[in-house]
Structure 1
Amino acid sequence: MRNIINLVRNENMKLSHSISTWIMIGILVVITIAAGLLIRFTGNQAPKSDWKADIRIQDQSAKQSLAQPGISKMEKEGISKQLQTNEYRLKNDIQPVQDRSLWGFVEGAIGLISLIALFSIVMGGKIVANEFSEGTIKLLLIRPSKRWKILLSKYIAVIGYTLLMLLVLLVVSILVGGTLFSFKGAGTPFLTNSSGIITEVNMIAHIVQLYGLQCINLVMMVTLAFMISTVFRNSAMAIGIGVFLLTVGSTITMLLLRFNWSKYILFANTNLNQYIDGQPLVKGMTMKFSIIVLIVYFIIFNVISYIGFTKRDIVA
């Protein structure tokens, strides 16, 4: 165990001494601040309206939608939940999250996780392949540490770097959102509606849940890029394939949804928010099913990485 810790520390030292590591974090921070400034000082600066009046207008529109013929059962359930939640808000004086507010900005900044995914793929795609291209792999393998431990330390380092970027995004978005839009209303709860039962959830807990669900997609994409980097020992190929799948993977999955077997595709299962919203991509899919599929993919990716790194000879 101590050997693994030392190897991970060594990989983290390599990352910390790489200028690209800090450039990626710097870009993330700058874009987050720039997004906050754009939202705060540009766009339509219309005066705030009465949120209760807005909700009553929404309710009227929702009731009209319910009365329309041909509406599906799933749509009815969604609209009914919306009406129940709005009624609870009016009764308990709980204002919805506004776009130009602390939590509105923090929720919007979650979209930047796609940028973190890109950076993580780059890091996962090169951390092993660069050892071969630069010839430093021999220096690692002459150590008494077993190959699988070296591989594991690199994987842990990449996942750790990914989690660090997520933490940076969360902290910076809260600071920027609070500075630009005020920390007033920070204690406002998030409302969940499960089978007609409305629960008040701490907003921090809600945001952490959203980040946690996004972590699943990040880990799978990093693991995929890491596998390609390990097997083909080519960082350009690993990064290229990883970025390609990150960009078009979901689109391709949507095009294949008419086939029942599409539920076994990786990208049909990475977004677990679909079960919280109550609308799975493929009828019959459940959160338990998606978790099992993700675990299977995760094991396959790591087994291939293990075989590719430990069983192949190092060419002089």
Structure 2
Amino acid sequence: MRKMINLVRNENMKLAHHLSTWIMMGILVLLVVAAGLLTRFTGTQAPKSDWKADITVQNQELKKSLAEPGMSKKDKDSITNNLQTNEYRLKNDIQPVQGNSLWGFVEGNSMLITLIALFAIVMGGGIVANEFSGGTIKLLLIRPSKRWKILLSKYISVIGYTLLMLLLLLIVSFLLGGILFSFKGSATPFLTNSSGVVTEVNMIAHMMSIYGLQCINLLMMVTLAFMISSVFRNSSMAIGIGVFLLTIAPGITRLISMKYTWAKYILFANTDLTQYANGQPLVEGMTMRFSIIVLIAYFVIFNVISYIGFTKRDIVA
């Protein structure tokens, strides 16, 4: 156990000594600050005080839409849920989250998790391959530690770095959101609607769930890039394929799912678990349990291939 801790510490020290590590974290913080300043000082309207009138008008529109013939059951359920949630808001005086508020700012910055995924792919795609290209892999393998432990320590280090960036995004967004938009209203609950039952959820728990569900995509993309790096020992290939899949694959999967039900077995049809929170799975019949099983299967396959690629191949002198 102590050897593993030392190996992970060694990998963390390597990451800490790379200038790119700090540049990535700096870019993330700067983007959060820029987003906050733009939202606060570029003419964005203040939260509307007469939000109840707006919701009343919205409810009238929803009722009209609900009365239209030929509507699918999926759309009808979605409209009904929105209507029930709005009526609950009016009855219990719970204002919706505004974009230029503390929680609205924190939730809006969850889009930057895609950027974190990009940075994680860069780190995961290079942490193994760069050892081979730089020739330092020989120094690493002459240690008494087994190869799989060395590989695992690198994987743990990359995952830790990714989670650190995610935590940094959450903390900076919360503090800056409170400074720019006030911490007033931070106790406002988030409303969920499950089968017609509206429930109040603590907003902190809601934000943690949003960021937590996004971690699934981060974990799978890092694991994929790590696998390619371990097998092909080429950081450019690992990063290139990882970035391509991150940006293009979800859209292609969505197009395939419109025509073929087997699309539900594709990795990128299951990485976004928020589809179940919204009640709109990509393919009809998909469930949270199904997606978790598929993700576990891909996770095991990726790591087994990484293990074989790193431990079974000879190191060329």
Shorter-chain TM-score tier? over 0.9
Contact 2:44 2:100 in 1 (8 A): no
SS in 1 for 2:211: helix
**TM-score, structure 1 normalization:** 0.98
Q: 1:47 to 1:259 in 2, by over 3 A?
A: closer
Distance 1:87 1:255 in 2: 35
Distance 1:246 1:309 in 2: 24
SS in 1 for 2:39: helix
Which shows bigger deviation, 47-56 or 208-217?
47-56
Distance 2:46 2:172 in 1: 27
Q: Deviations over 1:182-211 (max 9, x none)?
A: 111000000111111111111010000011
Distance 2:137 2:266 in 1: 34
* Cross-structure match for 1:220: 220
Distance 2:88 2:303 in 1: 47
Q: Deviations over 1:202-249 (max 9, x none)?
A: 101000001110000000000000000000000000000000000101
* Cross-structure match for 2:308: 307
Q: 1:27 to 1:49 in 2, by over 3 A?
A: same
* Cross-structure match for 1:291: 292
* Cross-structure match for 1:93: 93
* Cross-structure match for 1:121: 121
Q: Give the AA of the match of 1:307.
A: I
Distance 1:202 1:80 in 2: 23
Q: Percent identity?
A: 77
Q: Give the AA of the match of 2:280.
A: Q
* Cross-structure match for 1:229: 229
SS in 1 for 2:191: strand
Structure 2: state its 5+ residue gaps: none
Distance 1:260 1:101 in 2: 40
Q: Deviations over 1:70-111 (max 9, x none)?
A: 111111111111111111111111101011100000000000
| 2:33 is the alignment partner of 1:33 | yes
Contact 2:231 2:306 in 1 (8 A): yes
SS in 2 for 1:209: helix
* Cross-structure match for 2:132: 132
Q: 1:247 to 1:187 in 2, by over 3 A?
A: same
Distance 2:105 2:95 in 1: 16
Residue 43 of structure 1 and its aligned partner are, at CA, apart by 4.0
Distance 1:92 1:286 in 2: 32
SS in 2 for 1:199: strand
Contact 2:275 2:281 in 1 (8 A): yes
Residue 45 of structure 1 and its aligned partner are, at CA, apart by 3.1
Distance 2:86 2:260 in 1: 37
Contact 2:47 2:100 in 1 (8 A): no
Q: Give the AA of the match of 1:138.
A: K
Distance 1:167 1:250 in 2: 25
SS in 2 for 1:125: helix
Residue 44 of structure 1 and its aligned partner are, at CA, apart by 4.2
* Cross-structure match for 2:84: 84
* Cross-structure match for 2:53: 53
Distance 2:60 2:96 in 1: 17
* Cross-structure match for 2:18: 18
Distance 1:112 1:303 in 2: 30
Q: Give the AA of the match of 2:237.
A: M
Q: Give the AA of the match of 2:102.
A: L
Q: Deviations over 1:158-187 (max 9, x none)?
A: 000000000000000001111111111000
| 2:263 is the alignment partner of 1:277 | no
Q: 1:231 to 1:88 in 2, by over 3 A?
A: same
Q: Give the AA of the match of 1:8.
A: V
SS in 1 for 2:193: strand
After superposition, residues 96-245 of structure 1 pair within 5 angstroms as 96-245=96-245
Distance 1:298 1:43 in 2: 46
SS in 2 for 1:256: helix
RMSD: 0.9
Residue 25 of structure 1 and its aligned partner are, at CA, apart by 0.3
Structure 1: state its 5+ residue gaps: none
**TM-score, structure 2 normalization:** 0.98
Residue 2 of structure 1 and its aligned partner are, at CA, apart by 1.4
Which shows bigger deviation, 27-36 or 281-290?
281-290
Residue 49 of structure 1 and its aligned partner are, at CA, apart by 4.3
Distance 1:66 1:172 in 2: 41
Distance 1:108 1:80 in 2: 25
Residue 35 of structure 1 and its aligned partner are, at CA, apart by 0.5
SS in 2 for 1:243: helix
Distance 1:261 1:187 in 2: 43
